[in-house]
Amino acid sequence: MGNNHVTVLEIDLNAIEHNLNEFKSKLNPETKVMAVVKAFGYGSNALEIAKFLAPKVAYFAVAYLDEGIDLRHAGIKTPILVLHPQKINLEQIIKLNLEPNVYSITLLKAVIEETKSLKVRNYPIHIKFNTGLNRLGFTKKDIPEISALLNSQNSVFVKSVFSHIAASEDLNEREFTLAQINNFKKISTQFISQLSTTPFRHMLNTSGIINYASEAQFDMVRLGIGLYGFANEDAETAKLRNVITLKSVISQINTIEKGDTVGYNRAFKAAETVRTATIPIGHADGISRQFGNGIGYVYINGEKAPIVGNVCMDMMMVNVTDIDCNEGDEVLIFKDQDHIEELAKRTNTIPYELLTAISQRVKRSLK
């Protein structure tokens, strides 16, 4: 089935390449890059981005099995780390040559059991240590049990050891972050010393690369939001190119007389005569109701047009009283990084949430 929806998310692959190279310029030449393409490539198009990046990166990371399946079915041969595998998925993970993040004793035992039952030897797994995010991962006290389990079998081996920084973008938390890095160095060194092989190590995310490349670069870094044009700080984002542009069109222009109302629950009441434009995009497409009633705005012919009343499921109305525009004109729902960051601030969230909310019914287009 083709997607004929007039609302389109444009993805600029050249901008992604520029952003990758910008982050690589902060790293040692031998440091590997893991491109994080989970959540449909942060709301864009994981398959096309992965195909494009495959020759340029060492690894991909996804959150769940299904995302890994999609990449393998698209012909991606690059190693893929599954960040949040579940016991129930292990057979499929192994059959597709996906590499699980192992974060608990239960999961480690299950992976060893599954590889044995599939008669697989030396299957790559990744061991995650929790150093302060307190989300997933082993702790230092687990090392004796993990290493004993690993050293008593030959069906799996540890490809990498990693951890995740809790506040890499917040320099007020520098002391905490440096303690996390130091903790990871100690834990990983102790753990690796118990193994017969030498796994590689990785800890840094996008903001980590910017702020801690000299302290914690290790062998690889994990680049997520930075690929898509955001660096969590203005000066660094300015060096990146815009990847994502969300576009639609004006379906209808209406004149609203003084006293008339617009939209559900009559949320907007005209204090004077105004013109509104109706656009075919709504909260089912990822434009939250929080953007309603003047909080969000779009661009039409270079001018800002505030959202009028409540965002509907499939449509929204904007104020075009002072904008020279016609039915069929292009509307920029997300114009660039500055626009997305401003909308995120106005709704008390972060660009990640706005990007990953863009519904799969919105057509994706590469440029």
pLDDT, tens only, 234-258:
999 999 999 999 999 999 999 999 9
228 tagged catalytic: no
Instruction: For residue 227, give every residue at least 6 positions away whose Cβ sits within 8 Å of its Cβ, in sequence order, or none.
Output: 16, 19, 20, 23, 35, 36, 42, 49, 53, 243
Indicate whether 31 pLDDT > 50: yes
d(CA 86, CA 93): 10
Give the pLDDT score at 4.
72
d(CA 254, CA 203): 53
Give the pLDDT score at 3.
65
Give the pLDDT score at 350.
96
Region 50-76: mean pLDDT is: 97
264 tagged catalytic: yes
The sign of the torsion formed by the CA atoms of 224, 32, 203, 152 equals positive
Q: What's the pLDDT band for 37 if we cut at 50, 70, 90?
A: very high
Select which of 38, 128, 159, 247 is catalytic. Answer: 38
**Which residues in the chain are classed under CATH 3.20.20.10?**
13-232
- The pTM score is 0.96
Indicate whether 1 pLDDT > 90: no
Superfamily for 244-366? Answer: Lyase, Ornithine Decarboxylase; Chain A, domain 1 (2.40.37.10)
Tell me yes or no: is domain 13-232 CATH 3.40.50.300.
Answer: no
Give the pLDDT score at 2.
58
Give the pLDDT score at 5.
77
Residue 204 half-sphere exposure toward CB, CA atoms < 13 A: 27
**Which residues in the chain are classed under CATH 2.40.37.10?**
244-366
Select which of 258, 264, 269, 345 is catalytic. Answer: 264
Region 278-293: mean pLDDT is: 97
Q: How many CB atoms lie within 10 A of CB 138?
A: 23
